[in-house]
Structures are given as structure tokens and as C-alpha cells.
Structure 1
Amino acid sequence: MKETMQDFDPERPEDFDSAHAEYARLRRECPVAHTNGLGGFWALTRYDDVKRAASDPLFVTSVQNVVPKVAFTGRRPPLHLNPPEHTPYRKALNPLLSQERSETLVPHTRALSRELLAPMVAKGGGDICVEFSSHLPVHVFGEWMRMPEESLATLHDAGRAFILAVHSTKPESMKETSLRLYEMARDLIALRHREPQDPTVDPTSALLAARHEGEPLPDELILGTVRQVLVVGMVAPMVMIGSIAVHLSRDPELQQRLREDPSLIPAAIEEFLRLYTPYRGFARTPVCPVEMGGRTIGKDEAVALVYASANRDEAVFPNSGEFIMDRPNIAEHLAFGRGPHNCPGLHIGRMQLRVALEELLAATKHFALDGEIVVSRWPEIGALSVPLRFD
């Protein structure tokens, strides 16, 4: 029998801070919570529970992998497959996502950052999400995917439309916008068939060249993988840069400290990742009933791993709502997940945040909020629109 208890409402209006306050309440009072909203699901809010579900093979991704459910248009490896089925796709892509490979993208990322910031500096400010961080990851991932330059504007518009459709929680809009991304994936695969590239540097070619037990990967799953890769790296950097900008606008002393000593930025990025983890809706489903937090989660019931809450668990990170440089256990944060589905693009993600913050601080003497913050909805958490005034 499905659980009907309503411990929280995931669809109520939020501001930049309210969701974190709600998760602090749930960690204290109801750490394994249930809601009927967004189709009904469980939410794990404590660190140990989230870490367990991310790593335990009893929790799978093949039934539902995000809340709200958005996969209506086919399976998209590696996320939509369980180990060991997902392994050939990770094996093909992981070498191209190494830290060494990510660092080769720094000059391109820095040039893009300066190009995007220049008009904002010239007019004394602007929306750091709409004008900067919604474009930067598209072009960085486009460079990594070796996409034709003329496709990037289309990818930006199609990806943003899909993200907004997910936030609208309207299945028909999600399907329509997802299918546009599938069309782009088909076009890219067709281009690689016509004009093959080196599979040691080109992700699509690496998938086409991959073999599992001597056989090529299935065409429809290669398509799903390319479709997944096209958009998966777009949202988190956009939201994270917006959230970092909000924090530094509220803490001008820290803003100036980082501006004066850029060597502190990598450590600051790790604490920002913990404090403003951009995902709360990655999901798993148990293959059998599971006891957690004194409650029974039924077989195939959706479970949200609320990483954004886990990373503020006071039992693991004391004074968890505060920014503390060089936390002794900062390496334990779950911003990039855990287990077989940890984020394979973590090095590119860190690199983008580092370079973006370096360039934003270098281009300004000071910046401050200059309007209303618009926040994301499930499955992300953070800022989608942050108007800034530059000094």
C-alpha cells in the first residue's frame, strides 16, 4: 500500500533561503519524509541516509532517477541504467572527463568568461545567470563535445527550454523540449558517422567506437547517452554561479578577501559546493521494501536523495549554514554524489566554477544584488536569476 502521509509540500513557493530552512526542520523532526506532491515520493534529508541510498545496490536508477519524473522519451545511459549495464558508457566517457583533460579547457573557459562579462561590466551590471552562467556551460560543454559552433545557440535555447519545462512540472512540455534535444543528438551522431573523429578526444566518437563483450553499444542507447550529455552539464554550473553571487553579495568582506587573494578560490569553491549543492531531486527506487529512519519505503517507490540537505547535516558539518573556509572534512561533501552514479563531470564542473569566479572578481571592484532573486524548483535548488550591480 502506497504511503499517503504528507510531511512537507515540495510545490509551495520558495525564496532563496526557505528550502534550506525546511530541510533543517525535516532533518530534526522527520528525516525520512513523504509527500504526495510531484507524483508522490520519499525524501532523505540526512547525510548518512543519502550516502547509503546513493551507494546501496538495493536502490536503483532504472525506475525513476529524478523528482519530478522527467524521462518520458527513452533510456539515457549512464544515469538511467544500473550497474553493470551502465559501465560501458562510463568506461567510454570517463577518460575524456579526467582532471587533465578538464584543465585543457581552461583557456577557452577563461576567454568565454571575459567575453560574456564584458558587456555586463560596460553597463555596470546585469543578470549573472541569464547573461553569463546560462551561456558559459553550454559553450564549455560544446567545446568538450566538439560540437559545431553554429549549433551552440540552438543548444542553449533548447536546453533552457527543457529546464524551464521541468520546473513547470508539465509532462507534455517536458516531452516536447526533450525531443528537441534528441534531434540535436541524432544530428551530432550522424555528423560523426559522416566525419569520424579521434575517439580519444571526441565523446560521441568514443561511444561509437566502444565495444562491450565484443559488440558495439546499441544505437538507441548511444543516442540516449549523447542526449543526456548535451544537457546534464548545463544546469548545475548556472545555478551554482548564481548562488555564489548571492552569497558574496551578502558577504562583501569574503568577496573582497577572495578578490585580493585568488589562491583561496579553490577552497572557497568546495565550501560553496557544500553550502549551495544545486541538486535535491536525484532519485532512486528500492528493489524491495527498505527500513530507513524508522519508516518502511516500499518497493519501487520514488526516493529523492536531497543532497542539498545532506550537505547541511549538522551531525557531519558543524555550523552547517555558515561559510567556513578550509573545513577539515570538506572532502566528505556529497555535491557530486556518491557510488556508481557519482558525477563523472566533476572536474569540468569545478574548473568552470573556479574560472568563472576568478574572472567575475577580477572584472569588478565590488558587486551587489540589484533586484529580485528568482529561484529554481525541483529537481534543482538555487538561483536562476540574480541581478547584480557592478562597481
Structure 2
Amino acid sequence: MYKMATTGVSTCPFATSKALSREHIDTSPAVISDNVDDILKEYDVLREACPVAYTNQYGGYWLMTRYDDVKAAALDSETFISSVRAVIPSDPRGLRRPPLNFDAPNHTPYRTALDRTLKPARIKRLAEPLQLHAEALLLPLMQRKEGNICTEFAAQFAAWVETEWLNLTPDTAPRLASTASAWVNAWRRMDGEKTTQFSTQLYDIARALLADRRENPRDPEEDPASSLLLERNSSGEPLEEIHLVGCIRQSLVVGMVAPPLMLGGICNYLSQDQELQQRLRDDLSLIPAAIEEFVRLFSPYRGFARTVSKETVIHGQTIKPGVPITLTYSAANRDPAVFDNPHEFVLDRPNIAMHMGFGRGRHRCVGQPLAKL
């Protein structure tokens, strides 16, 4: 396996044509690039030659690329914990919010509250208003016969999805779209000052929502804030205000980041595959299967991070507590050991349910039902 040796060359037993040096890992497209093609090619190299690789980038972390390893780690929430580091790079301010940054049992009441509001009956009721929002947002692009599907449609539509799910006032949607976009860009630049500025605005929305639900509670199966207020911690006490606000604020953000990336990837692919585009137009029943395959191919998050609760050995590498290890879902989803022709779109792929585009285990995507809708 790859070793952090000062000689610069590893002795990966998995390597076939070459060993991978420390410098190679640190400058690998899988670590530093935003070019999708380059990243995916490098995942293929690492998966074969060095499936658990260490890089000094972003303070140092391990990169896991094989499907079986990623899945096993995602399902083992006692060993692979989220309360130390859950994202690489992490929030420049070091803040921790539930449920993403909490482990069980602290994680459980927040997850229970959100899941309660995403049952099939609620999703079905949300379908009609969201359809109307989609049509209204797409109409200007169709009239002009051009437009940016990511910024003009997907980001705006995601804000409406959040607004309908959280029962926010209609004027919140455009404000949420612009604020979330600015926050994401500040995060990417690791600009702590701007990240805080825009994050504060998201916190303001969360605090106002929570204060209103204390005064005007709603059906907990229809309203996330009301559902959260019902929950108790493992000691039977009400959840802390700071974490309630943090959970709502986390919910505001996570639903705003992935959709523009996902929808952009789908539309870009369909623009190049006219035959598939026409098949989906002619037979709408094919769309659910197509969506699953698109999520496998274009997972909007490369992955999430964990740290280990105890010293753990994977493929001969010793992972120590406190050092992040990434569960690279986008690499796992293209593992040829699991998915035949992994870089190709295959409609009705027999094992498509195995994809990890929504994660696995306790921290699987809360909004998965909304995302599929």
C-alpha cells in the first residue's frame, strides 16, 4: 500500500504498472482538480493501485475509492464517526450542526423529526405545487429558447422545494436561492468572513421559522420545525435551541447545493444523447430508472468524510482517530467490480439499487424522497 515514506515512492501491493509516490497523491486530480474527466480517470488509477491513499492536502486525509470499502464504512457508524469531521474541506469556522455532524444517540432525534415529514403521503402532496413551480421557472427559458439550467432553473427550483417542504413564506424562495449560492461560493473560496456573512442570513431564516412554530405549531408530519420541537434527547429533555436552529439551517443548505449540479449533469448528458432524450419523452415510465442511473453517474457530492473511533486497518493502512477518511461515493459508483461498463449510461441497469449516490447507513441523504420527486 501507499506509505507516507520520505523516499517519495510507495510500495503499493495493488500497483500493477507503477508505484504511486506521495507527490503523485498530493497533486492527483482526485485531490486538487475540478475537471470531472480527469478526476474520474484518477479514481480508476487509485481504485486499482492504491484504494486507500493519504494526501497532505486540506490538512491531511485518507481517500477511499473502492465500492466495498466505502459501503462498509458508511454502514459502520460506530467505527466511522461523523462528529469530528464530516466534510473535506470543512467549514472554515469549525461549526458542528445536526444531524450531519452528530453521532447516535445524539443524531437520532433530529433524523427522526426530518424523516417524519418526508413520508410517501407528504411527498405525494408536494408533487402538484412543485410541478407548478417547475413549469413557471422553465417557461422563460423555453420562450427565449436558451438559458442556464443550473442558475436560472435548478437553483431557483431547489429554493422552492425547500420553501414548500419547510412551509416558508413565498418571499423566502428567491432570498434563499441568492443567499445559498453566495454561501456556497464563499465556502469554495474558504473565505471565512463571507461564509459567516451569508451563513448568518440563513441562520436568521431558521431562527424566524423556529420562533414562529413555537407560537403557531403545525402538524408535525407536515412541518419539519414543528416536528423537531416535539423531539427529546436521550435524557428525555427538549433539544437545545442552538441545535434546533442549526438543524433547520443545515436543511436549508443541503437542499440547495446538490440540485443545480445534478440537474446540470443530467441536461448536459441528454443534450448529447438525442436518442435517449427522445426515448424518455416517448415513454415517461422510463424516467425513474433513468434518474437512478443519472444519480449513479453524476453524484453531486464526491463524498463525505468520517474519522475513526479507534485505530483501524484498511488494506494494510493504519487509520488513526482524528484523521479524516473520505467515503468517495462518486468513485464507488463507478467501480467496475460492481457496475459493468461503469462510465456508461445503462438504462434499467440490473443492480442500479446498489448505487451510493444518496449514501448509506444512518447518514444517508435525508432528502432522498424529495430528490427523486
Both structures adopt the same fold (TM-score exceeding 0.5): yes
Query: Which residue identity is paired with 1:32?
Result: V
Q: CA deviation at 1:13?
A: 4.1
Counterpart-to-counterpart distance in 2, 1:156 and 1:27: 37
Identical residues among aligned pairs (%): 45
- Whether 1:168 and 2:168 are equivalent positions in the alignment is no
1:255-283: per-residue Cα shift (whole Å, max 9, x none)? 11111111100010011111111111411
- Whether 1:308 and 2:327 are equivalent positions in the alignment is no
- Whether 1:187 and 2:208 are equivalent positions in the alignment is yes
Counterpart-to-counterpart distance in 2, 1:289 and 1:169: 30
Q: CA deviation at 1:9?
A: 4.9
Question: CA contact under 8 A between 2:310 and 2:321: conserved in structure 1?
Answer: yes
Specify which of 320, 340, 345 is matched with residue 318 of structure 1: 340
Structure 1 residues 86 and 331: alpha-carbon distance in aligned structure 2, compared to 1, 3 A threshold: same
Counterpart-to-counterpart distance in 1, 2:311 and 2:359: 23
Q: Which has the higher contact order (CA 8 A, sep 6+)?
A: 1
Q: CA deviation at 1:197?
A: 2.1
Alignment gaps of 5+ in structure 2: 6-21
1:14-55: per-residue Cα shift (whole Å, max 9, x none)? 334222122112112211122222232111111011111111
- Whether 1:88 and 2:103 are equivalent positions in the alignment is no
Structure 1 residues 73 and 224: alpha-carbon distance in aligned structure 2, compared to 1, 3 A threshold: farther
Q: Which residue of the partner structure matches residue 282 of structure 2? A: 260
Question: CA contact under 8 A between 2:156 and 2:173: conserved in structure 1?
Answer: no
Q: Is 130-139 or 272-281 further displaced after alignment?
A: 272-281
Q: 1:283 is paired with a residue of what secondary structure?
A: strand
Question: CA contact under 8 A between 1:10 and 1:37: conserved in structure 2?
Answer: no
Query: Which residue identity is paired with 2:170?
Result: E
Q: Which residue of the partner structure matches residue 48 of structure 1? A: 68
Specify which of 214, 239, 246 is matched with residue 224 of structure 1: 246
- Whether 1:33 and 2:71 are equivalent positions in the alignment is no
TM-score for the superposition, normalised by structure 2: 0.89
Q: Which residue of the partner structure matches residue 360 of structure 2? A: 338
Structure 1 residues 49 and 82: alpha-carbon distance in aligned structure 2, compared to 1, 3 A threshold: same
Counterpart-to-counterpart distance in 1, 2:222 and 2:276: 39
Q: Which residue of the partner structure matches residue 298 of structure 1? A: 320
Q: Which residue of the partner structure matches residue 199 of structure 1? A: 220
Query: Which residue identity is paired with 2:357?
Result: A
Specify which of 147, 157, 165 is matched with residue 136 of structure 1: 157
Q: 1:319 is paired with a residue of what secondary structure?
A: coil
- Whether 1:15 and 2:50 are equivalent positions in the alignment is no
Q: 2:357 is paired with a residue of what secondary structure?
A: coil
Counterpart-to-counterpart distance in 2, 1:53 and 1:340: 11
Q: Which residue of the partner structure matches residue 374 of structure 1? A: none
Q: Is 189-198 or 134-143 further displaced after alignment?
A: 189-198
Alignment gaps of 5+ in structure 1: 352-391
Q: Which has the higher strand share?
A: 1
1:229-256: per-residue Cα shift (whole Å, max 9, x none)? 1111111122111000111112111111
Q: How does 1:370-381 map to 2 (within 5 A)?
A: none
Specify which of 110, 113, 119 is matched with residue 131 of structure 2: 110
TM-score for the superposition, normalised by structure 1: 0.85
- Whether 1:243 and 2:251 are equivalent positions in the alignment is no
Counterpart-to-counterpart distance in 2, 1:71 and 1:259: 44
